[in-house]
């Protein structure tokens, strides 16, 4: 068989392949990624993109959880203050029903109760980041206003709607309780209790004072009951936050499996490719350029 | 019997023949690395003998012809494979550019803006009246629109680049076909008067090979030294001494350059037939495939994704209420990736987060956020559609890369085969050089010997 001696084509192809392999290995070492183009491993790229979407999903749930945690802490804190105020007021009611107090003293107690009522009114109108916490979904409207129409003298002008926020795939929590559920429950109306207590203290109606105190005790119980919504949901949010953090970690591991280059392997490959390239270049330098022409005399 | 004079003539004939053979060897050595050169061999033939009585005398040697060594079937295979290689290279070049636009492994692409856009609605759902969160939705929408516009513009630039290359290729095809058409009669003329047309045929073969690298061609031997060259579907490129130029014309429907044949009466549909779709090989074939399939498909998918997002976001907006209690206005304008934009003068207060008209309601903000989980594009959610779309481009690149490697190996094998048949071996030429040199020397010795004998004969006559 006739063979034409032409080593350069093969050598050049070899050098080209070695350089390509070395470039890939160097890229893996320098970027820490197995591949840097979508054509290198399309299946893995699809996985990487899906993971990125999922990571963004987890991120949004995490942000929502974080935002809700702050909001629930603010609401819980306001209700804690309300229960403290009610406890104080109930004590004052018991004191006012005591027959040993004269009217002047009852008037002084009434004035004190009135001050507390204003504080509670402030808590009922609590705001978080510019929105009213107990207004239902009418969050830009102050929910409790002074109004002579109701017997309590304070009108609820929020609504009875609630919002829901997603904190995971197919997992959501109720974001709020309307103020009417907390402060205006039937038979446990906070402001009616305050108003009745003040009125009866001022009129010296000890039986009425006792009744008003009982109303406030019922309101206290209801506020405490509604307070558990915030504490239990906050607990759920804390659990969700931990779960989301775990999922983020798992996702990072998955992403690394898909994309991250193993540094030891990458460096070993780079060294091997460098040796192969050096060998190919050395071989090219030592190509025998002789032919029969060199030996004919 | 020719006697001394006859012997001298035989020796002289041999000197000429060996000289010619040496010339062929010298030419081979000179062209050892000339692209397209096929080695030549001197065809030495024994001259017809003459009979004198019962004796038969040989009449020496003649250089009958100088023959080029080439394998036409192999050349045909090489031309076809050259076309395939050029097609794969051009296609891969285009698709690699497309892949760069959506290279999510390097942080390019649209995943981030899509996620950020829908996530901004989720954030808004935690506080629907918050001006900062509303502005964040608007900004995320603008970022999404800009990213889609840029991706579309990048695809457009790639398409324009491929289009320009199509025009350049067509010009190159025309240059090559005119050169082939000019060589045809020269070869015919040389062969007609019995001259060697080897170098002209080498030139023509080289031009045909270059042409195969640009467009799929069919070459037929028309006899008398002529070849006819046409595209694979029969559009004539060279007939006789005439070349038929292809033209690149802007197609108003697609906005891309289409290739038209000039045509001849014998070519159906000629003249002026659009042969763009039938060009499937060569650089031109690869460019057209990348432009009309790869880039076009990416553009269509991108537009489908955009249209899905625009229509679903706007529809969901319309189901909700903005801060003033009005039904939500369209958030996006446009219908494709090139023209998607946040509606002109759209205010953050117009984001319809509320599902019941109360300002603090977040039901519609949640619904807007959840569009990312809805099957809004070809039965898939935007994330799945996008990841499949990008992986699809990756698969096209990956397949073409594998094909490029495979074709490269086949080409190397064919080129090695061709080199072994038509390439110049310096060892072989050195041996031939020695052979012909010796033969020349020997013939010269014969001439010298006959000269001596003739001198002796003359001396005999003159008594010297």
What's the gap between Cα A213 and its chain centre?
41
Which chain B residue has its CA at the smallest distance from A33's CA? B105
Per-position b or e across A187-215, b if 16+ CB within 10 A of its CB: ebbbbbbbbbbbbbbbebbbebbbbbbeb
Q: Say yes or no for a CB contact (<8 Å) between B104 and A52.
A: yes
Binding-face residues of B in 64-103 toward A, CB within 8 A: 95-96, 99-100, 102-103
Judge: A45–B391 Cβ closer than 8 Å, yes or no. Answer: yes
pLDDT band at B267 (very low <50, low <70, confident <90, very high): low
pLDDT band at B457 (very low <50, low <70, confident <90, very high): confident
Q: Is the pLDDT of residue B55 over 80?
A: yes
Asked if pLDDT for residue B277 goes beyond 80, the answer is yes
| Cis amide prior to B271 (ω within 30 degrees) | yes
Contact A124, A134 (CB under 8 A): yes
Q: Identify the pLDDT of residue B263.
A: 63
pTM confidence score? 0.87
Average pLDDT in the B436-454 region?
92
Residue A244's nearest CA partner among A73, A67, A68, A55 is A55
Q: What pLDDT is recorded for position B265?
A: 53
Instruction: Find all residues with CB under 8 Å of B334, minimum gap 6, and list them.
Output: B145, B306, B310, B340, B341
Contact criterion met (CB below 8 Å) for B259 and B276: yes
- Choose among B145, B199, B440, B399: nearest CA to B293: B399
How close is the nearest chain A Cα to the Cα of B262, in Å? Answer: 39
User: For residue A154, with 0-12 CB atoms within 10 Å meaning exposed, 13-18 middle and 19 or more buried, which class applies?
Assistant: buried
- The alpha-carbon gap from B105 to the nearest alpha carbon of chain A, in Å, equals 5
Digit-coded pLDDT (tens) for B393-405: 999 999 999 999 9
**pLDDT at B2 exceeding the cut of 70:** no
Give the Cα separation of A190 and A123 in Å (integer). 12
Helical axes A42-97 vs B382-422, angle rounded to 10°: 160
8 A C-beta contact, residue B269 and residue B257: no
pLDDT in tens, A104-134: 999 999 999 999 999 999 999 999 998 999 9
ipTM for this model: 0.86
Q: How far is B339 from chain A (nearest CA, A)?
A: 25
In whole angstroms, what is the distance from residue A178 CA to residue B233 CA? Answer: 77
- Residues 24-53 of chain A with CB under 8 A from chain B are 33, 35-43, 45-46, 48-50, 52-53
**Residue partners of B432: CB distance under 8 A and separation at least 6:** B21, B25
**DSSP output for B25-53:** HHHHHHTTT-TT---EEEEEEEPPPEEET
**If you write DSSP's letter for every residue of B206-258 in order, what string do you get?**
HHHHHHHTTS-EEEEEEETTEEEEEETTS-EEEETTEE---EEEE-TTT-SEE
Does residue A16 sit at the B interface (CB-CB below 8 Å)? no
Taking CB atoms and an 8 Å limit, are A42 and B111 in contact across chains?
A: no
In this predicted structure, what is the pLDDT of residue B233?
78
How far is it, in rounded angstroms, from Cα A197 to Cα A212? 5
CB-facing half-sphere around the CA of B218: CA atoms within 13 A: 10
Q: Is the pLDDT of residue B139 over 60?
A: yes
pLDDT in tens, B317-345: 999 999 999 999 999 999 999 999 999 99
d(CA B163, CA B250): 9
Question: Across the interface, do B427 and A291 touch by the CB < 8 Å criterion?
Answer: yes
- Report which DSSP code applies to B329: P
Distance between CA atoms of B88 and B107, rounded to whole angstroms? 27
- Is A177 strand, coil or helix? coil
Any chain A CB within 8 A of the CB of B9?
no
Helix (H, G, I), strand (E, B) or coil at B365: helix
Instruction: Give A39's DSSP letter.
Output: T
Q: Average pLDDT, stretch B189-209?
A: 91
A149-153, A179-183, A204-208, B196-200, range with the lowest pLDDT: A149-153
Residue A55 has pLDDT above 80, yes or no: yes
């Amino acid at each position: 068989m006739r063979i034409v001696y032409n080593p350069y084509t093969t050598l050049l192809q070899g050098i080209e392949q070695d350089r390509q392999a070395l470039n890939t290995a160097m890229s893996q070492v320098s970027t820490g990624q197995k591949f840097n183009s979508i054509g290198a491993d399309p299946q893995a790229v699809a996985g990487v993109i899906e993971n990125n979407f999922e990571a963004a999903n987890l991120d949004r749930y995490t942000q929502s959880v974080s935002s809700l945690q702050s909001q629930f802490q603010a609401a819980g804190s306001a209700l804690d203050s309300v229960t403290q105020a009610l406890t104080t007021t109930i004590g004052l009611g018991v004191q006012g029903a005591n027959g040993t107090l004269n009217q002047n003293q009852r008037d002084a107690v009434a004035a004190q109760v009135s001050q507390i009522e204003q504080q509670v009114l402030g808590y009922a109108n609590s705001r978080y980041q510019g929105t009213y916490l107990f207004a239902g979904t009418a969050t830009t409207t102050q929910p409790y206003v002074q109004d002579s129409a109701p017997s309590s003298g304070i009108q609820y002008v929020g609504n009875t709607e609630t919002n829901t926020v997603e904190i995971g795939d197919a997992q959501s929590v109720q974001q709020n309780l309307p103020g009417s559920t907390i402060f205006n429950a039937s038979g446990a109306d906070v402001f009616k209790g305050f108003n009745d207590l003040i009125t009866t203290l001022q009129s010296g109606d000890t039986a009425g004072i006792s009744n008003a105190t009982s109303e406030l005790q019922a309101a206290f119980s209801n506020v405490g009951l509604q307070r558990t919504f915030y504490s239990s949901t906050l607990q759920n949010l804390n659990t969700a936050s931990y779960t989301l953090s775990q999922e983020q970690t798992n996702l990072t591991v998955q992403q690394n499996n898909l994309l991250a280059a193993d540094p030891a392997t990458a460096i070993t490959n780079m060294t091997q490719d460098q040796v192969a390239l050096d060998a190919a270049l050395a071989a090219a330098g030592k190509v025998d350029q002789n032919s029969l022409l060199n030996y004919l005399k | 019997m020719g006697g001394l004079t006859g012997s001298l003539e035989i020796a002289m004939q041999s000197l000429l023949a060996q000289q010619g053979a040496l010339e062929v060897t010298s030419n081979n050595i000179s062209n050892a690395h000339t692209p397209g050169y096929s080695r030549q061999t001197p065809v030495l033939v024994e001259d017809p003998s003459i009979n004198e009585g019962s004796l038969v005398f040989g009449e020496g040697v003649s250089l009958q012809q100088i023959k080029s060594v080439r394998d036409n079937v192999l050349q045909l295979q090489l031309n076809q494979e050259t076309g395939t290689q050029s097609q794969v290279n051009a296609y891969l070049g285009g698709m690699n550019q497309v892949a760069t636009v959506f290279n999510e492994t390097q942080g390019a692409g649209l995943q981030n803006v899509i996620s950020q856009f829908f996530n901004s609605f989720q954030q808004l759902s935690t506080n629907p009246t918050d001006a900062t969160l509303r502005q964040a939705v608007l900004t995320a929408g603008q970022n999404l629109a800009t990213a889609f516009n840029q991706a579309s513009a990048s695809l457009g630039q790639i398409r324009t680049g491929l289009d320009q290359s199509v025009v350049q290729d067509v010009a190159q095809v025309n240059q090559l076909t005119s050169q082939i058409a000019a060589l045809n009669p020269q070869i015919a003329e040389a062969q007609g008067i019995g001259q060697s047309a080897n170098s002209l045929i080498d030139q023509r073969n080289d031009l045909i090979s270059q042409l195969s690298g640009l467009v799929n061609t069919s070459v037929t031997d028309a006899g008398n030294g002529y070849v006819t060259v046409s595209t694979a579907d029969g559009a004539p490129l060279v007939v006789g001494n005439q070349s038929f130029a292809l033209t690149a014309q802007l197609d108003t429907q697609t906005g891309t350059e289409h290739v038209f044949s000039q045509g001849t009466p014998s070519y159906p549909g000629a003249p002026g037939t659009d042969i763009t779709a039938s060009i499937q090989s060569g650089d031109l074939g690869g460019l057209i495939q990348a432009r009309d399939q790869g880039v076009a498909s990416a553009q269509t998918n991108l537009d489908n994704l955009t249209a899905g997002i625009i229509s679903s976001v706007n529809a969901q907006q319309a189901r909700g209420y903005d801060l003033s209690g009005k039904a939500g206005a369209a958030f996006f304008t446009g219908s494709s990736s090139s023209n998607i934009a946040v509606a002109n003068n759209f205010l953050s207060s117009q984001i319809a987060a509320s599902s019941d008209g109360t300002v603090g309601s977040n039901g519609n903000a949640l619904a807007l956020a959840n569009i990312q989980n809805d099957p809004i594009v070809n039965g898939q959610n935007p994330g799945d559609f996008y990841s499949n779309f990008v992986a699809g481009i990756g698969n096209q690149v990956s397949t073409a890369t594998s094909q490029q490697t495979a074709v490269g190996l086949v080409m190397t094998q064919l080129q090695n085969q061709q080199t072994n048949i038509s390439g110049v071996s310096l060892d072989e030429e050195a041996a031939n050089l020695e052979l012909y040199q010796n033969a020349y020397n020997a013939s010269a010795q014969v001439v010298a010997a006959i000269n001596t004998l003739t001198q002796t004969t003359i001396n005999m006559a003159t008594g010297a």
